[in-house]
Every structure is written in C-alpha cells, then in structure tokens.
Chains A and B, each alone.
Chain A
C-alpha cells in the first residue's frame, strides 16, 4: 500500500510540478538557512572539554579601581594582576592550578636556508597539560621543578613539529626560540578546542598556540608578552614595577574535583581578597568569582551577537517557508477535491486518504530536507569564505546536525501537511460527484 501511495504522491507532484518545485525549494531554503545558523551557534556554544568542564574553574578577583567596576554589570575583571596570580599559585590550594599569559617569539630554524619566523605562544605553568587533558604525540609537558628553576623547556604543536622536524620525534632536541636554546620536552598531538576556552580574552575561536614555555620565564624578559594588558593605576617605570602594578594581564585556572573543594577554594580567595582589602587594595572585597568552563563561556558570551541574531532570523525565515508550504498544500489538496470524492466513492476510507496525503507531504518534506542539506552546506561554505579563518571549525556539518536537518524537514513538512490533509479528508464524496 505504501508504495502505491508513493506512486500517487509522485503522480500528483508531477501534475502540479510548478507548485511541487516551489514547495520543495521553499522547505529546502528554509531548512538550509536554519541549519546553517543553528550549526554555527551549536559549535560556538559547544563544550570544548566535556569530560571535566565542571571541575575546571576560571578565577576572577576584583582588583579593579575603587570608583568604577571593570564591567558595567559589576563583574570582576577578566584577568588578574601578576602579584595576585602568583600569590594564588604559591598557595597551592587547588588540586591543580595554572597561571598563564600569551607570548610571542621568533624561531630560528636550524636549517640556515630557512628564514626565521614569528610564532604565537603561551607562557604557562606545568599543570596546563594534565589539567586540560592535552594529548601528546611524543614526550610530555614539563614538571613543577622546571617552572621553579626557570628551565628553558618548550612544548611545540604537531604543525610546528611537522614544519621544523618533518614530523619525527623531536623530544630532547633543541629549538632556537627568542634567541635562546630551548629543549623540546613534548610534541602535542593535534588539539584545537573550540571555543579556545582556556583563554578567550583575545578571541574565543583562535587556534591553539604553536609553542608553550614555562610562565616563570616571563620575568627573564626573553620574549614579548601578548594579549590584553589593562591598567587603571599608573605604575612606576621599569619591569619590576610593572609586575608589582595593578595592571591585569595573567589568567589562572584551578582544578577542583568536588563541590566541597569548590566551596573551600571560594572561601580561600574571599579570605585573600579580605586580607588585601586591609592593605588598601580590593575595594570590592567580596566580588570574586569561580566559574566552571561553560559558565565562564556563557558569562563572556562567546556566541557572537551576529550568530544569535542570524539564527533568530533564519528560524523566522523557516516559518515563512512552512506557511508557504501549508498554503500551497492546502490549495493543492483542495484542488483535488473531485479526485478525492471519486476515491472515496470507490471505497477508500478516511484513514486511507489521510495516510495517502500525509505520505505526499512527507515526500515533499524529505525532498526539501535533502535540498536543505545541500543549501546548508552551501551556506556554511559561504560563511567560511566570507568570515575567514577563525570560523573554519565552526562551519562544519557533523552527523548530529545532518540528522537534525532531516528530522526538522520531515517533522516540519508533516506538520505543514497535517491541516491540509485533514481538510482534504473532510471532503464529502456526494457533493463532489454531484458537481460532475
């Protein structure tokens, strides 16, 4: 029976091919637009480290100026001063803790023909690698001792290892970085969490840095810091004065496995702020936040406004396309009134007719959905071409999205077909036959 209905659906669609094409196109465009924007939003709001996102906390302390909070809504600053960050590190009150900042340096390849080049890097303490589950191809990160002794060790990413060492195990070899010889302690496997949750201060969807070096080397001034530096109080001249200043430029993450750990740590930073308050700092002493990964990403609103706005518009666009389809299906089914009358007179039950027309709308929906996938793919390609590199990983259809697209197409077209189908079934055979 089902194949018969399919055949009827095909014949009916062919008879009014213009309308059918318009419906398929409308559903396709609606689904395509919706899927394009839903995909970008879904990937922008993805959890980059699902296995432990609830145990990793970003630390915010309110060291900002007394007269005005850092954020208009009163949230504490998004980074820490060097003195506060190092104080938290020395206290070691969390299971793991990491201090970090962006950096940049020039690499001089061993091969004399190759030109020196600039890389973006991260200065972090040893816990970075185990804390964020960084996968390694060769070797590993460094240990706390290397931090303490300011050892010249470096972790490089897979791309850089490919470029400089042809992809071989380069651990133990030296890398000429910032005019110094660094020992390679590990090569990261490909790892590119999106959003780049561990540092979103210079953009939430940047690529992972190419080199990682101990944060303690910052004080040696071999290389340049990168990222944002914000100051509210003028500092004295000189680097040490800068380190002691109220300028914020470092980030601290802590790993706290249980809720009790979390509460204890909150107590610790509040006590720290209260103590600093006594020294005349921290005007808002109780404004200290611990945010787990997803809370932090939501707080900083990594999903761009444009993406959310586009999604709202695309969903409304889909609604227009569906209204369009309902109208056309209704017109089409009612236009077949006499045919329906004849089928009823020949013994088709209401149920048969209902299923027949639902199949017909389902077929149109499926065709529209498949077309929608093509449009979504085109839409995402266009987005990649227009927005540039940073959006590359945010414009990929994954299996979830493909299934969602097909489900969306079928559900919406059946919904769209329901009312017209119901109306078609209400047709009285006697009237139709009389009209002949």
Chain B
C-alpha cells in the first residue's frame, strides 16, 4: 500500500484522464443497474402462469353473416362437431381469451347495495366443459352441471346465479382467506346475487398489464351472438394437426359464416408479451455493448498511459521493482478510479431510478442489485486493465537505459 501516495500524485497530474474513466464507469453503472432491474421486472411478469394448459389449447372465432340464421342450433351443432372429433379432450364456447387483450370485466361486491365499492373481475362465459377445456385446476367446490348453462342474449344484462372464481379473487373478496369463499354469495350489478360454487387455482384475465390480472370468474352462460369463440383442448401432441382440420370441417359445414383467427394459446402468450420480450432483448444488448465499450475504453487508455510511461516503468524495474509490483500498480490505479466511478454511479443509478419511478410507474431499485452491479463493474475494470498491466509488467528494466522506446 506504500504506492498509494505516488499513485495519487500521478493521478492528479492526469486528472482529466482519470476523471473520464470514472465518469464512464459511473454512467455505465447508472444505465446497467436500471436496465437489469427492468429486465428482471419484465421476466417476472412474463413468467406468471396463466393457469391454462397452454401447450394443448387453441381457439377459433366463428362469425355469422348470413341473414335469418338459427344461431343457437348452429352453435350447439358446432360444439358437438368439435367435441366428437378424435383427439379433442374438451371444448367450450367462450366470450374472451386470457392474455389476448380484449375481454369483459365486471365489478363484484360482498353486499347488495348501490354505494358499495366493488372489486373488478374478468368474466369468462363458459359451459360445463369450460374448466376442462381451459385446463384450469378446480381446488374447491364443483364444476357447472350441463343444466346450469343458460343462453345469453347479446344485449342481456342479467347474470346467472352460480359462479366459479379464482383463488386470487376469493382472497380479494374475503380478507385474504379463500377458504371462506365457497358457498358464499357475491353481488353483481349492485344487487344481483351469485353463489360461489367452485374455486380455481389460477386463471389470468385478458389484460396482462392489469394490476388485478388474476381476478377472474367463470359464469355458466353461452353467448347467443353472431360472433362466437370456441376454446378447444386437445390430447398432447395433436393440437397442430387438429387446428387446420377443425377449421376446414367447420368452414365447410356451413357457408353462412366464416371461421377466423385460429390461434394457439402459446401464440397468444407470445403476442401478449411481445413488447416486453422485445424490450428485454434490447436492454440485454444495451448492457452487453455498453460493458464492452467501457471495458475496451479502459484497455485503450491504460495502453496509452503505459506507452507514455515506458521509461518510468523501466526505471522502476531497474531499481528493483518486481513484475508483480508493476502489475499491481496499474491494477490498483484502476481500482481507485473505478471505485470513484462506482460511488458516483450509485448516485446516478438511484437518480435515474427516481426519475423512472416518478415518470413511468417503475418500481424502486433493490439495494442488492445495486451492490451486485458495483462489484460487477469493478470486476470489469480489473479484467480490462489486466492485459495492459501484464504488458507493463513485461517491460524490460533495460528500457531505462535505452533512451526512448
């Protein structure tokens, strides 16, 4: 540690050079920590389970355009045709698709009355095969019976008296204890009672950015409309073959409608998180490139500084300094500069985070990540300077006697 004094004096003679590296490291840390934090947030969001059997499910939309059409009969026939197809495990008509971005939400309350605060919930209208078709797990109570299912006119506003809700919704309605929910009554449209007959583990709403994304309910209804969706679950491995097969069979069975938007749940998830995925990749690239640039910048500056000091180094070697001592000098010099940069960078990272939090609904940084970032950058600095330092260490003591190198 005896070297610190001369080292500091040498640094003071090249203040600007050292300052530039320190600033660069500070900015790199500022960006890196926030970028990594955003990446962690995004990937956590993308990793949330939808509750569905995503690998074996798909859906399609049926749009009727022919006038004078018996919707109920045709929809029942379609459903039967789908269910009888070999390879299909279960199928249901449904009004909205989880994670797709478009859906229906309502508000439920614990008591009947006009001025009572409700809790938002995503509505899925399904029949008795809904639970199986979605692949959601029923953890309490029972599924709808075929006799529970009622036709719902498009402009209707009445609701059935039985519902199945998610565990998250049950916790939201019953003080965090879902076990209390089964058999209880909730109210929709302020006054209409609905009894909870079952609870499912997880089912996400159609909107992945919603803060209550796990609040969802199943209602035993089948929409009587000119646009309808069928949600289909197949045996493992048979989905891709069944998709075109069912599309064709349905389209050809009736020319008064079109079958469109045949899409897998996996694709729906990919589309739903497409922007998050893209942002994730961009951030990753930014971090890698940024680190490389800073690293190479350190290498470049160190090389120059060593070139300029060749004679000094030679002299020190001639006066008895070992190779390791020379190397240590440059490593230590970098550590000193990097530490200053990292300290500055911590302030910068927190500052940027405060701005991001106030302007864009980001969450505050975790201190752990900040510390890891500091050490990572210090390590990058040491790694970058080690090659120039090694070259410096190899300068022959004879250089001192040789005039200019």
Say yes or no: B153 contacts A308, CB within 8 Å. no
Instruction: Tell me which residues across on chain B come within 8 A of A111, comparing CB atoms.
Output: none
Which of the 9-residue segments B62-70, B126-134, B137-145, B313-321 touches chain A? B62-70
> How many interface residues does chain B have, given as a range?
35 or more
A306 partner, pick from B35, B275, B286, beta carbons under 8 A: B275
Residue of A nearest to B404 (CB): A436
Known contacts: A309-B360, A386-B274. The answer to whether A106 contacts B27 by CB under 8 A is no
Say yes or no: B158 contacts A320, CB within 8 Å. no
Tell me, in angstroms, the Cα distance from A67 to B301 when the chains sit together. 64
Say yes or no: A330 contacts B293, CB within 8 Å. no
Which of the 9-residue segments B14-22, B73-81, B176-184, B373-381 touches chain A? B14-22
Known contacts: A327-B21, A386-B281. The answer to whether A313 contacts B190 by CB under 8 A is no
Known contacts: A179-B65, A237-B153, A383-B278. The answer to whether A116 contacts B258 by CB under 8 A is yes
A84 interface residue (CB < 8 Å to B):
no
B275 partner, pick from A67, A117, A234, A387, beta carbons under 8 A: A387
Instruction: Tell me which residues across on chain A come within 8 A of B17, comparing CB atoms.
Output: 327, 330-331
Tell me, in angstroms, the Cα distance from A237 to B289 when the chains sit together. 60
Known contacts: A22-B296, A319-B27. The answer to whether A419 contacts B279 by CB under 8 A is no
Say yes or no: A310 contacts B24, CB within 8 Å. no
Contact with B along A297-311 (1 / 0, CB 8 A): 000000011101110
Say yes or no: A178 contacts B31, CB within 8 Å. no
Tell me, in angstroms, the Cα distance from A61 to B118 when the chains sit together. 24
A349 interface residue (CB < 8 Å to B):
no
A327 partner, pick from B27, B226, B286, B297, beta carbons under 8 A: B297
Tell me, in angstroms, the Cα distance from A423 to B16 when the chains sit together. 11
B386 interface residue (CB < 8 Å to A):
no
CB B65 to nearest CB in A, in angstroms, measures 4
A280 interface residue (CB < 8 Å to B):
no
B155 interface residue (CB < 8 Å to A):
yes
Interface residues of B in 1-46 (CB under 8 A from A): 16-17, 20-21, 23-24, 27-28, 30-31, 34-35, 38
A326 partner, pick from B20, B227, B355, B404, beta carbons under 8 A: B20
Interface centre among A118, A305, A320, A328 (most CB of B within 10 A): A320
Tell me, in angstroms, the Cα distance from A313 to B293 when the chains sit together. 15
A38 interface residue (CB < 8 Å to B):
no
Residue of B nearest to A37 (CB): B282
Instruction: Tell me which residues across on chain A come within 8 A of B307, comparing CB atoms.
Output: 335
Instruction: Tell me which residues across on chain B come within 8 A of A332, comparing CB atoms.
Output: 304
A33 interface residue (CB < 8 Å to B):
yes
Residue of B nearest to A306 (CB): B279
The prevalent SS among residues of A at the interface is helix
Say yes or no: B300 contacts A323, CB within 8 Å. no
Known contacts: A67-B115, A320-B28, A387-B274. The answer to whether A331 contacts B305 by CB under 8 A is yes
CB B49 to nearest CB in A, in angstroms, measures 24
Known contacts: A237-B156, A313-B286. The answer to whether A106 contacts B189 by CB under 8 A is no
Instruction: Tell me which residues across on chain A come within 8 A of B34, comparing CB atoms.
Output: 313
Known contacts: A26-B293, A105-B65. The answer to whether A234 contacts B286 by CB under 8 A is no
Known contacts: A235-B157, A331-B17, A334-B308. The answer to whether A386 contacts B31 by CB under 8 A is no
Residue of B nearest to A238 (CB): B155
Say yes or no: A323 contacts B404, CB within 8 Å. no
Say yes or no: B227 contacts A234, CB within 8 Å. no
Instruction: Tell me which residues across on chain A come within 8 A of B343, comparing CB atoms.
Output: none
Say yes or no: A323 contacts B155, CB within 8 Å. no
CB A23 to nearest CB in B, in angstroms, measures 9
Say yes or no: B35 contacts A313, CB within 8 Å. yes
B47 interface residue (CB < 8 Å to A):
no
Contact with B along A402-436 (1 / 0, CB 8 A): 00000000000000000100010000000000011
A321 interface residue (CB < 8 Å to B):
yes
Residue of A nearest to B299 (CB): A22
B260 interface residue (CB < 8 Å to A):
yes
Known contacts: A116-B258, A436-B404. The answer to whether A327 contacts B20 by CB under 8 A is yes
Residue of A nearest to B115 (CB): A67
Interface residues of A in 8-44 (CB under 8 A from B): 18-19, 22, 25-26, 29, 33
B31 partner, pick from A67, A105, A317, A435, beta carbons under 8 A: A317
B241 interface residue (CB < 8 Å to A):
no
CB A69 to nearest CB in B, in angstroms, measures 15
Tell me, in angstroms, the Cα distance from A178 to B20 when the chains sit together. 67
Instruction: Tell me which residues across on chain A come within 8 A of B308, comparing CB atoms.
Output: 334-335
Instruction: Tell me which residues across on chain A come within 8 A of B296, comparing CB atoms.
Output: 22
Say yes or no: A320 contacts B290, CB within 8 Å. yes
Q: What is the interface of chain A, defined by CB distance below 8 A to chain B?
A: 18-19, 22, 25-26, 29, 33, 67, 105-106, 108, 115-118, 178-179, 224, 234-239, 241-242, 304-306, 308-310, 312-314, 316-317, 319-321, 323-324, 326-328, 330-332, 334-335, 382-383, 386-388, 419, 423, 435-436
Given contacts A324-B24, A386-B282, 14 further A-B contacts (CB under 8 A): A118-B63, A179-B65, A234-B190, A238-B155, A313-B35, A313-B286, A320-B24, A321-B293, A327-B21, A327-B24, A334-B308, A383-B282, A386-B277, A436-B404
Q: List 5 A-B contacts (CB under 8 A).
A: A316-B30, A320-B27, A327-B24, A331-B300, A332-B304
The 7 closest A-B pairs by CB, nearest first: A331-B304, A386-B278, A106-B65, A327-B20, A324-B297, A234-B189, A305-B360
